[in-house]
Amino acid sequence: MGKITIAIDGYSSTGKSTLAKRLASALNYVYVDTGAMYRAVTLFALNNKYVGTNEDIPSLIKQLPNINLKFVPNKTLGLSEMYLNDENVERQIRTMEVSDHVSKVATIEEVRHMLVAMQQQMGEEKGIVMDGRDIGTVVFPNAELKIFMTASPETRATRRYKELLERGEEVTFDEVLKNVQKRDRIDSTREMSPLKKAEDAIEFDNSDMGLEEQFERIYNYSLRVINKNN
Ligand code: DC
């Protein structure tokens, strides 16, 4: 059966990665979390003081060729983890500090060019589920299936707040809600590749939907699209 490309875009904390991971595993496709790539570049920028209290974007741009990003499968967990210059940074890229600076780093043209080129290479052979903000519009405009996920900011902040508490981060619900709203604003108004629904994407609002129902619906829909393309 010929494989297709599945692009999943949408606002932060809409559950894109949970759905994309499960879908990829059910279809035996590769899953790529492009947000993790922007987060890893942000971690590099924070560690080297190119963003944060100090700001030196030109130096960050100069250092881009020295950033080596890799997804390495973790057999025990059954998923891939992000490595930055051969160090496993999967936990470090999910902190509030990285979340607070990632949208800014994602507006840098040179960063986007580098990461989009890597993403297109990863998807060359199809059989991929990629989630992000610009996958259906910029990375794979010809993807056979495009899904645009939405949910209310409060629903998304509640999900993210729970996740952060479970990981032992000390945050308030209000801080998380503000971060979600700030990222929505920056992600959808930036000049280059702003977050927007591709014309041929299906919009999927999961505010009132459990994980099982979301998966069933999208999985069945994917099978129909795969059959149509064979
Ligand atoms: O999906 P996430 O929340 O981990 O993404 C982190 C940030 O990276 C998000 O605020 C916007 C940016 N991003 C992007 O600009 N383009 C992508 N394809 C993926 C993420």
Mean pLDDT by 10 residues, the chain (230 residues): 95 92 95 97 98 95 97 90 97 93 94 98 96 96 97 93 91 94 90 92 92 95 95
The predicted pLDDT at position 78 comes to: 83
Please state, as a whole number, how many other Cβ atoms lie within 10 Å of the Cβ of residue 180: 23
The predicted pLDDT at position 11 comes to: 92
Going from the Cα of 132 to the center of ligand 1, the distance in angstroms, rounded, reads: 6
The predicted pLDDT at position 1 comes to: 81
Model confidence, pTM: 0.93
Q: What letter represents residue 3's amino acid?
A: K
- E-strand ranges in the chain read 5-10, 30-33, 69-74, 79-84, 87-88, 128-132, 145-150, 202-205
Cβ–ligand 1 contact at 38 (below 6 Å): yes
Going from the Cα of 191 to the center of ligand 1, the distance in angstroms, rounded, reads: 15
The predicted pLDDT at position 171 comes to: 93
Cβ–ligand 1 contact at 144 (below 6 Å): no
Ligand 1 atom nearest 115 alpha carbon? 18
The predicted pLDDT at position 192 comes to: 87
- Rounded to whole angstroms, the Cα distance separating 223 from 196 reads 25
Q: Is the separation of the CB atoms in 24 and 223 below 8 Å?
A: no
The predicted pLDDT at position 79 comes to: 86
| Top mutation candidate among 14, 38, 193 for ligand 1, by most atoms within 8 Å of CB | 38
Cβ–ligand 1 contact at 42 (below 6 Å): no
DSSP assignment string, 34-92:
HHHHHHHHHHHHHHTTSSSSS--HHHHHHHGGG--EEEEEETTTTEEEEEETTEE-TTG
Cβ–ligand 1 contact at 123 (below 6 Å): no
End-to-end CA distance of the chain: 7
Cβ–ligand 1 contact at 22 (below 6 Å): no
